[in-house]
Amino acid sequence: MLSRNRLRTGLTALSVSWGVFMLVALLGIGSGIANQIYWDFRDDAINSIWLYPGTSSLPHGGYGEGRPVQFTDADYELLRTSIPGIEHVAGRFRMGGEHIIRRGAKTSSYDIRAVHPGHQYIEKTIVRSGRFLNDRDLMERRKVAVIGVRVAEFLFPALDPIEDPIGEEIIIGSIPYTVIGVFEDVGGENEMRKVYLPITTARLSYGGGDVIHTLLFTVGDATLEESQRIESQVRQRLASRHHFSLADRRAIRVSNNLEEFAEVQQIFTWMDGFIWLVGLGTVAAGIVGVSNICLISVKERTREIGLRKALGAPPRTIITQIVRESVALTAVSGYLGLLLGVLLLEALRTWVPENDYIRDPDIALVPALVTAAVLVLCGAVAGYIPARRAASVPPVVALRDS
């Protein structure tokens, strides 16, 4: 009977489709953004905490403010041995800028990280062949290097970039190093264009003493609270060693990945809720439209409904007919919206190149099913209200109506 108001029914169906389409598109794009952010976290261990030295901003223990803090091997040992809960520790020594690396006729410049062996676990470096740096390399200040797979591909063209570089010599600056490992990194292309050297060797070559520029460590499977406890313990020990006030937030900067991850997770929980709210609101507007069109069609056909009742139609039949039409209308138009939404996400996945903002926008099966179920339910409710009204009209009144 809705077919009698083709345009109105069509527009109503469109509004339901649009609502569902918006819901699906929003959920999908939301998930794409979340995927991308979580992807960014894949680079480093989520349970890692990073310490950057700063400059004291408060006078403390007889020392004035404005005093730079400098990490050394002693701090590395402190973290490694005397703070419970810390799993892997590493220091980074910055050699400043990119460095010319040569092998045979091939020359290019790459970023070099001089680190401790524990760095492998914190940066989530995946060693594909050979090995990562070990304590012995550091102790003996060996001239060895672990190179990223992109570096290997460049320096060793026409060779297998994974297996063949092991044992080969490359020249960094003017010093020859032996390649002991090739690695990949889930953190992206840039992370695979790096070279790792033993921190001790690098400091020897570039005059670094026992300085460490960045300290990194992981906290195992500690919860957020536990990691925050470890973090504050670290801050306390470093404060007393480096003579800065605990209240001084500038003396060292601490970045807790777990904390940031939790924050991001919370943001996405809120965003998800918001998307559902907006999306379901849009769908609800469509559903109200369905109820409205059913009401109009019932009103217009009061006389026909009365006649059908006079001819022996039981009230239940009248109700089921209207509800069935309403459910069919919402289900079909909702399904159409769902389909269009999924197609849009599919198109985004297929046609949008890899970028920093969105990754694998998708709607999971469960939200899709929930949406479908909610729609059918809403369709039934939207139809039931006008239907009950129609069924309760006595046939006489309906027939008198003209």
Contact positions vs another protein (CB under 8 A) = 4, 303-304, 307-317, 391, 394-396, 399, 402
Closest CB 342 distance from another protein, rounded Å: 36
Q: For residues 20 and 298, which CB has a smaller minimum distance to another protein in the complex?
A: 298
Q: For residues 318 and 327, which CB has a smaller minimum distance to another protein in the complex?
A: 318
Nearest Cα neighbor of 254 from 223, 214, 212, 222 is 214
Residues 6+ apart with CB under 8 A from 353: none
Q: For residues 159 and 396, which CB has a smaller minimum distance to another protein in the complex?
A: 396
Q: For residues 387 and 391, which CB has a smaller minimum distance to another protein in the complex?
A: 391
What are the angstrom distances between the C-alpha of 184 and each of 7, 147, 280, 297?
59, 9, 43, 65
Closest CB 341 distance from another protein, rounded Å: 35
158 vs 381: CA distance, rounded Å? 68
Nearest Cα neighbor of 280 from 382, 376, 383, 374 is 374
Closest CB 384 distance from another protein, rounded Å: 17
Q: For residues 372 and 399, which CB has a smaller minimum distance to another protein in the complex?
A: 399
Q: For residues 355 and 402, which CB has a smaller minimum distance to another protein in the complex?
A: 402
Closest CB 350 distance from another protein, rounded Å: 45
Q: For residues 259 and 304, which CB has a smaller minimum distance to another protein in the complex?
A: 304
Closest CB 307 distance from another protein, rounded Å: 5
Closest CB 292 distance from another protein, rounded Å: 22
138 vs 142: CA distance, rounded Å? 7
Burial (CB count within 10 angstroms: exposed 0-12, middle 13-18, buried 19+), residue 131: middle
Closest CB 383 distance from another protein, rounded Å: 19
Closest CB 387 distance from another protein, rounded Å: 14
For CA atoms 80, 83, 86, 87, the dihedral sign is positive
Q: For residues 240 and 392, which CB has a smaller minimum distance to another protein in the complex?
A: 392
